[in-house]
Amino acid sequence: MLNVGPGTASLVVREGKTGARADIEGTASCKSAWACPVCAPRLADARAKALYPQVVQAMEAGFSAFLLTFTCRHKRKMPLSGLMTRLKAAWRALMQSGDYRDWSARFVDKPKWSRGWDMTHGQHGWHPHLHMMLLLPVGAVDADAADLLGFWLKQARLAGLSVTRGAQDVRRLDNPEAVARYAVSPAAVYEALALAKKQGNGGGLTPFQILEMAISDQKSGVSGSKWVALWREYVRTTKGSRLVGTSRNLTLKPDADLALVDEVTPVDRSIAFDRVAVRALDRANLMPKLLSVAENEDCPWSRRAACLSFLKAHRISGRFWSLPVVEPYDQQRGGPT
Model confidence pLDDT, tens digit, residues 88-111: 999 999 999 999 999 999 999 999
What's the pLDDT band for 177 if we cut at 50, 70, 90?
Answer: confident
> Average pLDDT for residues 162-186, to the nearest whole number?
84
261 class by beta-carbon count within 10 Å (0-12 exposed, 13-18 middle, 19+ buried):
middle
By DSSP bridging, strand 244-246 and strand 112-122 are antiparallel
Is the per-residue pLDDT at 229 higher than 50? yes
Return the pLDDT at 17: 63
Q: Are residues 125 and 147 in the same domain?
A: yes
pLDDT tens digits, one per residue of 264-312: 457 888 999 998 998 898 888 888 889 889 999 989 999 999 999 999 9
What's the pLDDT band for 125 if we cut at 50, 70, 90?
Answer: very high
Residue 305: which domain range?
A: 2-30+257-322
3-state secondary structure of 131: strand
Q: Are residues 110 and 126 in the same domain?
A: yes
Return the pLDDT at 237: 94
Note whether residue 97 is domain-resident: yes
Q: Are residues 191 and 272 in the same domain?
A: no
Q: Are residues 181 and 74 in the same domain?
A: yes
C-alpha–C-alpha distance, residues 114 and 182, integer Å: 9
Task: Give how far Cα 228 sits from Cα of 187, 212, 315, Å.
Answer: 21, 10, 24
CA count, 13 A, side-chain hemisphere, 297: 22
Q: Are residues 89 and 152 in the same domain?
A: yes
C-alpha–C-alpha distance, residues 193 and 212, integer Å: 18
Return the pLDDT at 193: 34
> Average pLDDT for residues 315-333, to the nearest whole number?
73
Q: Are residues 268 and 153 in the same domain?
A: no
What's the pLDDT band for 150 if we cut at 50, 70, 90?
Answer: very high
Q: Are residues 25 and 83 in the same domain?
A: no
Note whether residue 52 is domain-resident: yes
Note whether residue 214 is domain-resident: no
Return the pLDDT at 65: 94
Return the pLDDT at 3: 52
Bond from prior residue into 328 cis (ω within 30 degrees of 0) = yes
Return the pLDDT at 267: 84
323 vs 29: which has the higher pLDDT: 323
| Phi (first) and psi of residue 199, to 5 degrees | -100, 150
Q: Are residues 24 and 161 in the same domain?
A: no
Return the pLDDT at 62: 94
Q: What is the dihedral of CA 67, 48, 42, 211, to 10 degrees?
A: 0
C-alpha–C-alpha distance, residues 320 and 327, integer Å: 22
Return the pLDDT at 212: 86
Closest CA to 25 of 269, 219, 288: 269
What's the pLDDT band for 189 if we cut at 50, 70, 90?
Answer: very low
Note whether residue 327 is domain-resident: no
Residue 127, strand partner residues: 120
Arithmetic mean of pLDDT over the chain: 83
What's the pLDDT band for 141 if we cut at 50, 70, 90?
Answer: very high
> Average pLDDT for residues 258-267, to the nearest whole number?
48
Q: Are residues 12 and 130 in the same domain?
A: no
